Structure 1
């Protein structure tokens, strides 16, 4: 938590009248200077900040503290919220807390569709599952289709893979991800191809 010199002096003097907007100004200056220092280099900066509950009933999303400087300068802003995880290893509901669920929502992005959300399950015993949230993502993309009480995937060779939701783990998700990455890379190559434009003929 960043402190300004005014915060320190007021705390030592017992004066609690606040920083009067100095902290947002300091954070904005920090972001602007950092962007100008390494903006021309192929590097990035990852920063974390606190959020607070919204007081607006028409905009219930949590608000980011410290002013708008971070939001304007950032290429990607992800809001995270901690929830309780009450599931065992097999996905069955239990009464005790086994870990946390990190609810992640993309509030801003310059590279993809914003306001997409996903929950990442992090059990206390085993840590985060690298495949957590992939099944939900593949369902949204239409790669996994609900068939009765099971999920179906058709690979590029035309073979059908049908199984229960809990069985879609490990190698099966790796297979979908490999084909999904290949499809995305092909689309990017097609998009980057130069567009040929015929020159206009001058009227005689």
Structure 2
């Protein structure tokens, strides 16, 4: 008899605690699906909730106290990050840069883009983008003092025209990708080598016209 009464009181207490969370679930920002446990089975502040965002499909696990109560006014962190990425891509495209990829490395996102002026493909860290744009938004090659050597410019233009990577050009010219890239960027520059690579690049571009 005592055991039956205890179970009934215990179940009633659980139901009471779960009812306390229901208003928070109704006002939680975003569109969510509660996967586990059921809304009537949330037993306390430290109960782990498995939820799915109905906008992006992200599935997360958080405590009821941290996610549902304390951060009730915040929506999906994955959706927020995606909106931020889309906003930064639009900002870069407005300055003429073609964004090729965005990848997370460690804690930060890296934006790989192509310079509209010289065609250089380079990376920028997400946290530095606003400051970088504020200071002129120039790629590593365009930001070099002075102009690139003429043969470096020829290599760049030919690669863009032919849709050819520095790796492909290096294979044709019998040089490593890093060697071709450095010369195209005006680094470790050798005039004879630069002229040879530029001649090969322009020949390939002409053949592809």
Q: Structure 1 length normalisation: TM-score?
A: 0.25
Q: Structure 2 length normalisation: TM-score?
A: 0.24
Q: Which structure has the greater CA radius of gyration?
A: 2
| Higher-RCO chain (CA-CA 8 Å, sequence separation at least 6) | 2
More helix by share: 2
More strand by share: 1
